[in-house]
Amino acid sequence: MGRLHILDHPLIQHKLTYIRAKDTGTKEFRALVEEVSMLMAYEITRDLPLVETTVETPVGVAQTKVIEGRTLALVPVLRAGLGMVHGILNLIPNAKVGHIGLYRDPDTLQPVEYYCKLPQYMEERDVIVIDPMLATGGSASAALRAVKARGASSIKLMCLVAAPEGVARVQADHPDVDIYAAALDQGLNDHGYIVPGLGDAGDRLFGTR
Ligand code: PRP
Ligand code: URA
């Protein structure tokens, strides 16, 4: 079964508090999500494989290391996942970025796919699927299915806030995928929102309602 990793670095937890606060406006919300995403990416990429190499310095030759294989693929789930991409790209500027468009039908809460464009050679890349909210888990499960259908096999799921229901759904549907979150909350309300969560991530990022 995939593991749930809660990233409890103090800077991540501190910033998440202000992301959650209902009085945090769009500009600050966006900036904080970007900052927290960069910090989370630092933790999530801790186990990337390295290969030995050499580099000529001004005074000699250093035996050193670089990340093995093809560059990573980041796959944000539209819309809200977009808010996390730039923070990660600050750390990993060469990463390729694919996009999966999903929205949750407000009545059935089922994800509806409307767009999918991924980098080439997904089967050779480490892939991070990104969505700030893991609520029922329907969207994340569909996004993971979509990247697997295009060949990906080394996949992590990154979210800001997870609900137990979403974690259980992803673990059941995708036992090979580890989940990385900044917080595991109490559960879902009748509208499928995470409680206490942070509200509607897409609306708060983009100032819509
Ligand atoms: C939100 C969120 C996730 C999804 C999580 O997207 O960004 O993608 O809901 O819910 P789930 O785990 O129950 O599937 P939403 O459908 O509101 O679309 P948006 O990002 O375009 O606002
Ligand atoms: N989508 C959101 O944006 N927030 C939630 O709490 C649940 C789904």
Q: What is the mean pLDDT of residues 162-174?
A: 98
Per the CB < 8 A criterion, the answer to whether 19 and 198 are in contact is yes
Per the CB < 8 A criterion, the answer to whether 171 and 199 are in contact is no
> Which residues does ligand 1 sit against, CB inside 6 Å?
77-80, 102-104, 109, 111, 131-140, 166, 192, 200-202
Task: Report cis status (omega within 30 of 0) of the bond before 196.
Answer: yes
Above 90 in pLDDT, residue 69?
no
Q: Which pLDDT score, from 0 to 100, does residue 164 have?
A: 98
Q: Which pLDDT score, from 0 to 100, does residue 209 have?
A: 80
Q: Which pLDDT score, from 0 to 100, does residue 28 have?
A: 98
Summarize pLDDT for 4-48 with one digit per residue, the tens.
Answer: 999 999 999 999 999 999 999 999 999 999 999 999 999 999 999
Please give the mean pLDDT across all residues of the chain. 96
Q: Which pLDDT score, from 0 to 100, does residue 109 have?
A: 82
| Residues annotated catalytic, as ranges | 104, 108, 200, 203
Above 90 in pLDDT, residue 180?
yes
d(CA 37, CA 60): 37
Q: How far does residue 104's CA lie from ligand 1's centre (Å)? A: 6
SS3 string, the chain, reads CCCEEECCCHHHHHHHHHHHCCCCCHHHHHHHHHHHHHHHHHHHHHHCCEEEEEEEECCEEEEEEEECCCCCEEEEEECCCHHHHHHHHHHCCCCEECEEEEEECCCCCCEEEEEEECCCCHHHCEEEEECCEECCCHHHHHHHHHHHHCCCCEEEEEEEEECHHHHHHHHHHCCCCEEEEEEECCEECCCCCEECCCCCHHHHHHCCC
> How far is the CA of 122 from the CAs of 31, 100, 125, 207, in angstroms?
30, 14, 5, 33
Ligand 1, pocket-test mutation among 131, 139, 195, most atoms within 8 A of CB: 139
pLDDT band for 170, please (50, 70, 90 cuts): very high
Q: Which pLDDT score, from 0 to 100, does residue 50 have?
A: 95
